[in-house]
A and B are shown apart, each in its own frame.
Chain A
Amino acid sequence: MASETTTPRSFQEIILRLQAYWAARGCAMLQPYDMEVGAGTFHPATTLRALGSKEWTASYVQPSRRPTDGRYGDSPNRWQHYYQYQVIIKPSPPDLQELYLGSLEAIGIDMKMHDIRFVEDDWESPTLGAWGLGWEVWCDGMEVSQFTYFQQVGGHDCHPVSGELTYGLERLAMYVLGYDDGNEMPFNDPQSPIPLTYGDVFREAEAQYARWNFDVADTDTLLQHFKDAEAECARILEQPADDPKTGRRIVMAQPAYDQCIKASHVFNLLDARGVISVTERQAYIGRVRALAKACADAFVQTDAGGYAA
Chain B
Amino acid sequence: MPDLLIELFSEEIPARMQPKAAADLQKRVTDGLVEAGITYTGARAYSTPRRLTLTLSDMLARSPDLREERKGPRADAPEKALEGFLRSTGLTKDQLELRDDKKGQTYFAVIDKPGRAASEVVAEVLEDTIRNFPWPKSMRWGSGSLRWVRPLHRILCITYDEQGTEIVPVTVDHITSGDITEGHRFMAPGAFKVSSFDDYEAKLKKAHVVLDATERADHIWADATSMAFAQGLEVVEDKGLLAEVAGLVEWPVTLMGEIGEQFLDLPPEVLQSSMKEHQKFFSVRNPKTGRIEKFVTVANTETPDNGATILAGNQKVLAARLADAVFFWENDLRIAKEGMQPWLDSLGKVTFHNKLGTVADQIDRIAALAREIAPVVGADAETAEKAARLAKADLASEMVYEFPELQGIMGRYYIERAGESAEIAAVAEDHYAPLGPSDDVPTAPVSVAVALAEKIDKLAAFWAIQEKPTGSKDPFALRRATLGVIRLVLHNNVFFGLSVAFDSWQAHNPVLAEAFAKRERSISRLPEGQFRNDLANQHKNHVKEAEQMIDGLTSVLGDRFPYTADLLSFFHDRLKVYLRDQGIRHDVIDACIAMEGNDDLTLLVKRANALSDFLKTDDGENLLQGFKRANNILSQAEEKDGVEYSFGADIKFAETDEERALFKALDDAEATITPAMKDEDFAKAMTAMAALRAPIDAFFEAVQVNADNDMVRRNRLNLLHRIRTICLSVADLTRVEG
Q: A: which residues have CB within 8 A of B?
A: 76-77, 91-94, 97, 111-120, 122, 132-135, 139-142, 149, 151, 158-161, 163, 175, 180, 277-279
Q: Does B533 contact A (CB under 8 A)?
A: no
* Given contact pairs A117-B248, A141-B313, a sample of 16 additional A-B residue pairs in the complex whose CB atoms are under 8 Å apart: A91-B141, A91-B142, A91-B143, A112-B186, A112-B303, A115-B299, A115-B307, A118-B49, A119-B12, A132-B139, A140-B313, A140-B314, A142-B314, A149-B151, A180-B319, A180-B320
Within 8 A of A (CB), among B277-300: 279, 297, 299-300
Given the complex, which residues of B lie within 8 Å of A116, measured CB to CB?
A: 186, 300
Q: Residue B151 contacts which of A94, A151, A180, A277 (CB distance < 8 angstroms)?
A: A94
Q: Is B190 an interface residue (CB 8 A)?
A: no
- Chain B neighbourhood of A151, CB < 8 A: 139-140
Least Cβ distance of A72 to chain B in Å?
A: 14
Tell me, yes or no, whether B15 is within 8 Å of chain A by CB. Answer: yes
Whether A278 and B350, one on each chain, are in contact in the complex, defined by CB atoms closer than 8 angstroms, is yes
Q: What residues make up the interface of B, taking CB atoms closer than 8 Å to A?
A: 11-12, 14-16, 49, 137-143, 149-151, 153, 186, 248-249, 279, 297, 299-301, 303-305, 307, 309-310, 312-314, 316-320, 349-351, 354
A278 to B641, CA, bound (A): 68
Determine whether the beta carbon of B11 is less than 8 Å from that of A279.
no
Distance (Å) between the CB of A204 and the closest chain B CB? 23
In the complex, what's the smallest C-beta–C-beta distance from B243 to chain A, in angstroms? Answer: 14
* Cα–Cα distance between A118 and B149 once the two chains are bound (Å): 13
List A contacts of B310 (CB < 8 A).
113-115, 140-141
Which of chain B's residues have a CB closer than 8 A to the CB of A93?
142
- Could you say which of A111, A141, A163 has the most chain B C-beta atoms within 10 Å of its C-beta? A141
SS class, residues of chain B in contact with chain A? loop
Q: Across the interface, do A175 and B313 meet the contact criterion of CB distance under 8 Å?
A: yes
| Across the A-B interface, the 7 shortest Cβ-Cβ residue pairs | A140-B313, A120-B14, A118-B12, A141-B314, A115-B299, A160-B143, A133-B139
Q: How far is the CA of A133 from the CA of B12 in the complex (A)?
A: 11
Identify the closest chain A residue to B316 (Cβ).
A180
Residues of A within 8 A of B300 (CB): 115-117
Within 8 Å by CB of B248, from A114, A119, A161, A180, lies A119
A133 touches B317 (CB 8 A): no
- Are A120 and B16 in contact (CB-based, < 8 A)? yes
Q: Are A141 and B297 in contact (CB under 8 A)?
A: yes
Tell me if B142 and A161 are in contact (CB < 8 A).
yes
Q: How far is the CA of A163 from the CA of B186 in the complex (A)?
A: 22
- Least Cβ distance of A114 to chain B in Å? 6
Chain A residue at smallest Cβ distance from B298: A115
Chain B residues in 8 Å Cβ range of A132 = 139
Give Cα distance in the complex from A133 to B13, angstroms. 11
Tell me the bound Cα distance from A226 to B523 in angstroms.
26
Complex Cα–Cα for A158 and B139 (A): 11
Q: Are A141's CB and B186's CB within 8 A?
A: no
Across the interface, A118 reaches (CB within 8 A) one of B11, B16, B141, namely: B11
Query: Do residues B11 and A114 form an inter-chain contact, with CB atoms below 8 A?
Result: no
Assembled-state Cα–Cα distance A42/B177 (Å)? 40
Does A115 lie within 8 Å of B301, measured CB to CB?
A: yes
Pairs A–B under 8 Å by Cβ, sample size 11: A76-B320, A94-B151, A112-B303, A114-B313, A118-B11, A140-B309, A159-B140, A160-B142, A161-B141, A277-B349, A278-B351
Expressed in whole angstroms, the minimum distance between the Cβ of B382 and any Cβ of chain A is 32
Q: Are B317 and A149 in contact (CB under 8 A)?
A: no
A133 to B139, CA, bound (A): 7
Complexed CA–CA distance, A93 and B11 (Å): 13
Known contacts A118-B12, A141-B279, A161-B140; A113/B314 CB under 8 A:
no
**B151 neighbours in A (Cβ, 8 Å):** 92, 94, 149
Shortest Cβ distance from residue B624 to the other chain A in the assembled complex, whole angstroms: 56
Assembly CA distance A85 to B49 (angstroms): 27
- The interface residues of chain B lying within 8 Å CB-to-CB of A113 are 303-305, 309-310
**B299 surroundings in chain A (CB, below 8 A):** 115
Residue from B139, B186, B303, B349 with most neighbouring chain A CB atoms (10 Å)? B139
Q: Which of B11, B14, B49, B142 makes the CB contact (< 8 A) with A97?
A: B11
Residue in chain B with minimal CB distance to A120: B14
Q: How far is the CA of A175 from the CA of B313 in the complex (A)?
A: 8
Chain A contacts for B12, CB-based, 8 A: 117-120, 135
In the bound complex, what is the Cα–Cα distance between A115 and B308 (angstroms)? 11
Nearest CB of chain A from residue B91's CB, rounded to whole Å: 44
Inter-chain contact A94/B318, CB cutoff 8 Å: no
Residue of A nearest to B313 (CB): A140
Contacts of B301 in A (CB 8 A): 115
How far in angstroms is the closest Cβ of chain A from B349? 7
Chain A residue contacts of B16, Cβ below 8 A: 120
In the complex, the answer to whether A279 meets B320 with C-beta atoms within 8 Å is no
Are the CB atoms of B304 and A112 closer together than 8 Å? yes
Instruction: State the CA gap A279–B357 with chains docked (Å).
Output: 11
Who on chain A is nearest to B307 by CB? A115
Which residues of chain B come closer than 8 Å to A118, judged between CB atoms? 11-12, 49
Considering only CB atoms, which chain A residue lies closest to B299 in the complex? A115
User: Are A141 and B318 CB-contacts (below 8 A) given A113-B305, A175-B313, A278-B350?
Assistant: yes
Q: Are A122 and B313 in contact (CB under 8 A)?
A: no
**Complex-state Cα separation, A28 to B49, whole angstroms:** 33
Contacts of B49 in A (CB 8 A): 118
| Chain B residues in 8 Å Cβ range of A160 | 142-143
A159 to chain B, nearest CB (A): 8
A140's contact among B138, B143, B317, B319, by CB below 8 Å, is which?
B317
Residues from chain A with Cβ under 8 Å of B316 in the complex: 140, 142, 175, 180
Q: How far is the CA of A279 from the CA of B350 in the complex (A)?
A: 9
Closest A residue, CB atoms, query B279: A141
Known: A116-B186, A118-B11. A142 touches B313 (CB 8 A): yes
Task: Give the distance to chain A from B185, nearest Cβ to Cβ, in Å.
Answer: 8
Q: How far is the CA of A77 from the CA of B351 in the complex (A)?
A: 31
Question: Smallest CB-CB separation from B150: which chain A residue?
Answer: A133
CB distance from A290 to the nearest CB of B (A): 16
Interface pair A120/B351, CB less than 8 Å apart: no
A121: nearest residue on chain B (CB-CB)?
A: B14
- Write the nearest CB–CB distance from B273 to chain A, whole angstroms: 16
CA distance A76 to B248 in the complex (A): 30
Which chain A residue shows the least CB distance to B309?
A113
